Structure formats: structure tokens, C-alpha cells
Amino acid sequence: MGPIKILLIDDDKVINFLHRLKLEEVIVDCVVDEVLGGQAALDYLTTHEECPDVILLDLNMPGMDGFEFLEEYEKLGKCVDKSKKFLFIVTSSQRDEDKIKVTANRLVKGYFEKPLIVNNIKEILACF
Amino acid sequence: MSSEETKLTELTFQLIVESSPNAIVLVNKEGKIAYFNSRAELLFGYVRADVIGQLVELLIPKRYHENHPGFRDIFFKTPSVRAMGAGRELFAARKDKTEFPIEIGLNPIVTVDGTLVLASIIDITERKKAEERFKLVVESAPNAMILVNRQGIITLINTQTEKLFGYERDELVGNKLEMLIPKRFQGHHPGHWNLFFKEPQTPTIEVGRDLFGLRKDGAEIPVEIGLNPIETNEGNMVLASFIDITERIQHERVIKKQLSELKIANDYLEQLAYISAHDIKNPIISIEGLVDILLDSSEIKPPEVELLKMQKGVIQQMKKNNKGINDILKLRQGLLTRQDADAESMSLTAILDSVKIILRSDIESTGSKLKVNMNGVSEIHFPFFYLQSVFYNLLANAIKYRDPGRELIIRFEAQRIDKQAFRFVIADNGLGFDMSRAKDKLFGVFKRFHPNIEGTGLGLHIVKSIVDAYGGEIAVNSEVGKGTTFEITLKNPIIE
């Protein structure tokens, strides 16, 4: 198995940067790509032949937000049904409703509050 | 008439007539008085000898003298047991010419001397007075009052009724109540009416239905109707009171509109609070992450490290404040949507113990003493989390704001007020605060009174929010240098 391919979807560049550092620190063999919104993520998925193994999705974003992205992602079909593809929510939302709503989605593997910590990354790795 | 019955002796007859509680006058075909009992003597002021053989018109006011003989003859032609007057008001005249209202029952008696009429007379002066009083009361009522008989006929109204419906008194009395009710309701109205007579409950207010009255000009007015069954000598009646609620409905409409506007504004503010809490959290996390990277870097020199550490401290304070806002929002949400089903019966000692466990290290490191007096209160029915939060915040405050110059003693007292209510007292001998300065702000969100001691300004606000949400009360008394006492009254959220 090659490096774990990770896609970060967050409108905050600094958060993406920090999450990348943390991920690269814990997962030695990984490739991290960043996009700044839901639409950019959809474009990324349609233009890249290979699907990311892990998607970390923020919820509150301008333009297409995390919830809308989940809908479009499901419609897209690509990458969704393949095994060993996981989507996690990483959000600064503190609303219980958001958590309940989004974790009910079958595509969502886990829910973390920002910032991503080592234990979260271990949880992601445990899927493989 | 059989011969047996004619044998009824005059003596027996006299006994019966004399023992009657009513005045009794026997009149023959010619209209002459044949008998006059002692009650009649009392009532009219005559002695028997004065009236026997006199025309019965002697007992009637002059103005009726002309017509009365005619009525008398009619009765003798078709004698039957009935009341005299066919519903008209009747009056009698005493010997001294004074008049009084009466009711007369007529009873034909066939004797050997021919048919006599036994007239049984009742003085209804008192009853008339009572009726007048009743009319006065109805008249002076602030509402439109309508007296209706079993047939739904209006028998009495007051001036307010004329004003409300725009009819004159004469246009209403004697007519069906239905004329005051819009046609579209008339279909089911009589049924409802009959039902009311069948089971007349005491004062009924028609609620939960939009009721309307119909004015003479055809306009409909929203009304509230109260129905009150009353027994009269004319049978069971209903006294209906109508209140014009046009204005009330207008007020309600305004209040409803304002309420919905407030709700929208409130929802908006809550959204705003959530969003700003979220939007602030994101950059805080970013700055902290960046500062951490710099702190970890080996290339940063000690003076910069100090600055970075200070910056990290500021960031942590920001995080704490931000979390405070979120905690408050969540608590409010939780309290607003609270379900009483969450309440559980549990041991008060267990709740207090759970709080002591959370605070153990603080209690031990400060050498504080907690003196508990449960006064026999063992079980309390309340949501565990909220009661724990109340005790936790008050005890944590007592410890936090202790007087470093003396040993902290916290007194915890429970007391059952009645079946559902409890009182808790949490008193300390700590720093205390100036009541005149703090009283109004004490329970406000993010209010702090000891600037040199770390705190979030949330504890008492949380306590108050919980107590308020469950209809309880919280009182505080404090004196600088002496200590602070909180007294909380809580009611069981579920009435057993």
C-alpha cells in the first residue's frame, strides 16, 4: 500500500496548513492536498483520476458549505463507493444539531472539533 | 259528583280551609263572597262579617271593577282548575285601599248550593321585591345580561344589552334569543341550548370557540358568553352575560404579532451568537497553532519565547471566553427545550458527593471544611445535571473567593418546605462582596466582582438560569470580610 492520500477541505488557509503539519507529523507516509471550499473540492474530485483515501471536511464555509458538499459528493458517485475511502468532519461548529445532522450521513465516518489533535489522527489511521 | 263526596261535612271543609296557609275566598255564581278564611281576614284587613255576601270586587282595586264581572262569568261557564290572570300581573285591595300584588289559584267546587269558586290567594309582595332587586342587579351589571326561559325566549335584558346589540328593550323581550346570534351559528345553537338546560352546570364561560353576537345593524361582534342557570317561579331560566371582546381580540392580535416579531429577533440573535462564537473560534485555533509552531522551533530566542508565551496566554483566555459563550448558549438552549421527563428522583447526598468529587483537589488544597445538614431531606426529583451544576458553581465560588486569612467553612443546608418545594442554603465565611454595588449585576452574564481572582463570570449566571427555568428563586446576602449566603428555593418539576 502506497502513501495515504488526504484531501483537506477548509476555507481557512491557516487551518489547512496546521492540519497538514499535524497529519504529516503523525502519518509518516501521506500525501496531503488542500482545497478552499466545497466547489473546489468537487472540481478536485472530478479532475483527479485517483480518489483520496481520506477527506477532512469543514462544515461552515462560504459558497458551497460542508452540508451541500456532502450532497453533491453523494451524487457524484465517484470515490464514494470504493472501499477504504473515508470522510471525516473537522469543524469548529459547536452546535449539537450540526453534529447530529452530519453524523447521520452514511458517508461520514467521524466528527472532530478543531483543531485536529493526535488522537483524532490515530482514529483516522485505525480505519485502515 | 257522587253522594259520598257531598257528604263531606261543612265542618271538615272549614277545617281544611282554615288550616290552609293561603288566604281562601269562596265566591258564588253571582260573584258574592260565600266564605272568607282567617288568613284572608289577615291579608285584607276585613272581618268575615264585613265581606260575606258582598261582591268579590270589594277585594279588587277600582280600576279593574269594570271588567272583572265579565271574567267571572266566563269562568263559571267553563270552570276548571287554573291560575287567574293568564300571566298578567294581579293586584288586590285591602280594606284601607292599599294594593298588593297577588297570585290566585281558582278551583271550582260543586255543592248542593250550586258551583262555587274557591280562590286561593297568595301575597307576592316579597317575591316581587326580590324580582325587582334581581332586575336592578341585572341592570347595574357592567355586561349585557339577558334572561332567557326554557323556550329560548328573552324575558329580561339590561341597558348594556341595548347598547351592545343596538336594539330597544321592547324589540328583544318576548323574542327568541336566536335573533342575537348570526344565522350561520343558528343551526347548532338550539341543540347546544337544550343541552345546557338538561345539565345546567354552574357558571359556564364559553371558551375555545369563536362566538359572535349579531347586532341589529347586521354587524357581528366577537363575544364571550357566560351562562348561568337560575331557578325562578316561572321555571328554570338561564341568565346569559355577553362581553364584547372586540378590543381584547385586537390586543391579543397585537401581542401575538409582537411575540412573533420578538421570536424572530431572538432566533436571529441566537444565530448571530452561534455564528460569532464559531467565527471567533476558527482564527483563535489558527493563531494558537501558529504560536505553537514558533514555540517548538529551536531558532526562536528566549526574549521572543517569553513574548510568545504571553501571546499563548492571551489566546487561551480568548478560547476560554469563547467556550464560555458557547456553554451559555448551550445551557440556554437546554433549559428552553427542557423536558421535565429528564427529571429523576435521586439522593441529595449522591448529588452533593458527585460535586465534592469534582472539587476534591480544591477542597483539600485549601483545607476547606464543608458542613452539611440535610435536615432529613433524602430524595429530590430534579434533572441531575442541572442540580449538580447549581451546587458545583456555588461551592466552587465559595472556594474561589475564600478569605486567605482564615479557614474556609461552607455550610450546606437542605430543607423541605412542602411536598414539592425545597430550600437550600449555601453559606461561606469568605471574602464577601459589597451588596450595594453588586446586587443587580450579580447574576449577569460575564459579570465578575473579584478582579484579582481568575473567573469566567459564568457560574452565578448559570445558577440563576437554571433556577429561573424551573420556577425557583435565588436570594443572596453578602458582607465584605464576613462571607456570602445563597438561598435557593426549588420546586419539583413534576407534580406528583
List of chain A residues whose C-beta atoms are within 8 Å of the C-beta of residue B286: 12, 14-15, 18
Q: What is the largest CA-CA distance in chain A?
A: 38
List of chain B residues whose C-beta atoms are within 8 Å of the C-beta of residue A94: 274, 277-278, 281, 326, 329-330
Would you say residue B6 has pLDDT above 60?
A: no
CB B121 within 8 Å of CB B93:
no
Count CB atoms within 10 A of the CB of residue B461: 20
Lowest-confidence segment of A111-115, B16-20, B121-125, B475-479 by average pLDDT: B16-20
List of chain A residues whose C-beta atoms are within 8 Å of the C-beta of residue B274: 94-95
- Could you read off the pLDDT of B197-234 as tens digits, one per residue? 555 544 444 444 678 889 999 999 999 888 888 887 77
Most confident range, picked from B48-52, B207-211, B279-283: B48-52
Q: What is the pLDDT of residue A38?
A: 93
Average pLDDT, chain A: 89
Q: ipTM of the assembly?
A: 0.74
Q: Which run of H or E residues covers position B485?
A: strand B483-491
Q: Which of A123, A43, A44 is nearest to A89 (CA)?
A: A123
List of chain A residues whose C-beta atoms are within 8 Å of the C-beta of residue B281: 92, 94, 114
**Interface residue of A8, A22, A114, A118 to substitute, partner B, most B CBs within 10 Å:** A114
Band (B291; pLDDT cuts 50, 70, 90): very high
User: For B346-362, what is the mean pLDDT?
Assistant: 88
- Between B274, B289, B329, which is nearest A115 by CB? B289
- Could you read off the pLDDT of B129-138 as tens digits, one per residue? 988 898 899 9
**Interface residue of A59, A94, A100, A112 to substitute, partner B, most B CBs within 10 Å:** A94
Q: What is the pLDDT of residue B60?
A: 92
The residues, ordered by sequence, that sit 6+ positions from B98 with a Cβ below 8 Å of its Cβ are none
User: For B33-61, what is the mean pLDDT?
Assistant: 92
A94, B281: Cβ pair inside 8 Å?
yes
Q: What is the pLDDT of residue B251?
A: 93
Q: Which CATH architecture has domain A12-117?
A: 3-Layer(aba) Sandwich (3.40)
d(CA B328, CA A72): 35
Band (B188; pLDDT cuts 50, 70, 90): low
Q: Which of B489, B343, B319 is nearest to A113 (CA)?
A: B319
d(CA A34, CA B309): 30
Most confident range, picked from A66-70, B71-75, B265-269: A66-70
- Could you read off the pLDDT of B447-483 as tens digits, one per residue? 766 666 666 677 888 888 888 888 889 999 999 999 9
Q: What is the pLDDT of residue B27?
A: 92
Band (B496; pLDDT cuts 50, 70, 90): very low
Q: Chain B: nearest CA to A72, how far in angstroms?
A: 24
List of chain A residues whose C-beta atoms are within 8 Å of the C-beta of residue B326: 94
State whether residue B286 sits within 8 Å of chain A by CB.
Answer: yes
Binning chain A into helix, strand and coil, the percentages to the nearest 5 are 40, 20, 40
User: For B156-183, what is the mean pLDDT?
Assistant: 91
Q: What is the pLDDT of residue B203?
A: 45
In chain B, the percentage of residues whose pLDDT exceeds 90 is 32
Q: What is the pLDDT of residue A1?
A: 66
For residue B324, the chain A residue with the least C-alpha distance is A94
Q: What is the pLDDT of residue B469?
A: 83
- Could you read off the pLDDT of A40-90 as tens digits, one per residue? 999 999 999 888 999 999 998 888 889 999 999 988 887 776 777 889 999
State whether residue B180 sits within 8 Å of chain A by CB.
Answer: no
Band (B46; pLDDT cuts 50, 70, 90): very high
Would you say residue B495 has pLDDT above 50?
A: no
Return the axis-axis angle of helices A66-76 and A38-47, rounded to nearest 10°.
20
Give me the residue spans of the domains in chain A.
12-117
List of chain B residues whose C-beta atoms are within 8 Å of the C-beta of residue A14: 283, 286, 289-290
Q: What is the pLDDT of residue B198?
A: 54
DSSP A52: P
State whether residue A93 sits within 8 Å of chain B by CB.
Answer: yes
Per-residue buried b or exposed e for B193-203, using 16+ beta carbons within 10 Å of the residue's own CB: beeebeebeee
Would you say residue B371 has pLDDT above 80?
A: yes
Instruction: Specify the pairing of strand A108-113 against strand A86-91.
Output: parallel
What Å distances lie between residue B287 and A39, B135, B284, CA to CA?
26, 84, 5
Q: Which of B448, B411, B415 is nearest to B430 (CA)?
A: B411
Count CB atoms within 10 A of the CB of residue B224: 16
- Between A21, A92, A115, which is nearest B278 by CB? A92
State whether residue B192 sits within 8 Å of chain A by CB.
Answer: no
Residue that is written with C-alpha cell 501521506 in the block: A30
List of chain A residues whose C-beta atoms are within 8 Å of the C-beta of residue B293: 18, 21
What is the residue type of B49? A
CB A87 within 8 Å of CB A71:
no
- Between A15, A60, A93, which is nearest B285 by CB? A15
Lowest-confidence segment of A52-56, B11-15, B287-291, B418-422 by average pLDDT: B11-15
d(CA B334, CA A95): 12
Average pLDDT, chain B: 84
List of chain B residues whose C-beta atoms are within 8 Å of the C-beta of residue A21: 289, 293
Lowest-confidence segment of B66-70, B79-83, B171-175, B438-442 by average pLDDT: B438-442
Would you say residue B21 has pLDDT above 70?
A: yes
Q: What is the pLDDT of residue B168?
A: 94
CB B389 within 8 Å of CB B423:
no
Q: Chain A: nearest CA to B300, how far in angstroms?
A: 19
- Between A21, A92, A95, which is nearest B285 by CB? A92
Instruction: Specify the pairing of strand B99-111 against strand B90-93.
Output: antiparallel
Q: What is the pLDDT of residue B193?
A: 53
Q: What is the DSSP track for B197-260?
A: HHS--SSEE--SS-EEEE-TTS-EEEEEEEEEEEEETTEEEEEEEEEE-HHHHHHHHHHHHHHH
More confident call, B153 vs B447: B153
Would you say residue B51 has pLDDT above 70?
A: yes
Interface subset of A 2-41, CB within 8 angstroms of B: 12, 14-15, 18, 21
**Where are the extended beta strands (E) located within B318-420?**
344-347, 369-373, 379-382, 409-416
Q: Chain A: nearest CA to B323, how far in angstroms?
A: 9
A14, B289: Cβ pair inside 8 Å?
yes
What Å distances lie between residue B453 and A19, B317, B429, B431, B456, CA to CA?
36, 14, 17, 11, 10
Q: What is the DSSP track for B401-470?
A: T--TTS--EEEEEEEE-SSSEEEEEEEE-S----HHHHTTTTTSTT--S-TTS---S-HHHHHHHHHHHT
**Interface residue of B267, B276, B282 to substitute, partner A, most A CBs within 10 Å:** B282
Q: What is the pLDDT of residue B207?
A: 46
Would you say residue B243 has pLDDT above 60?
A: yes
d(CA B401, CA B438): 15
Return the axis-axis angle of helices A13-26 and A118-125, rounded to nearest 10°.
60
Count CB atoms within 10 A of the CB of residue B406: 10
What is the residue type of B76? F
Would you say residue B113 has pLDDT above 70?
A: yes
- Between B282, B326, B329, which is nearest A12 by CB? B282
Spacing of C-alpha B424 from chain mean position: 32
Band (B157; pLDDT cuts 50, 70, 90): very high
User: ∠ CA B451-B453-B455 to the nearest 5 degrees?
Assistant: 90
CB B39 within 8 Å of CB B23:
yes
d(CA B168, CA B465): 58
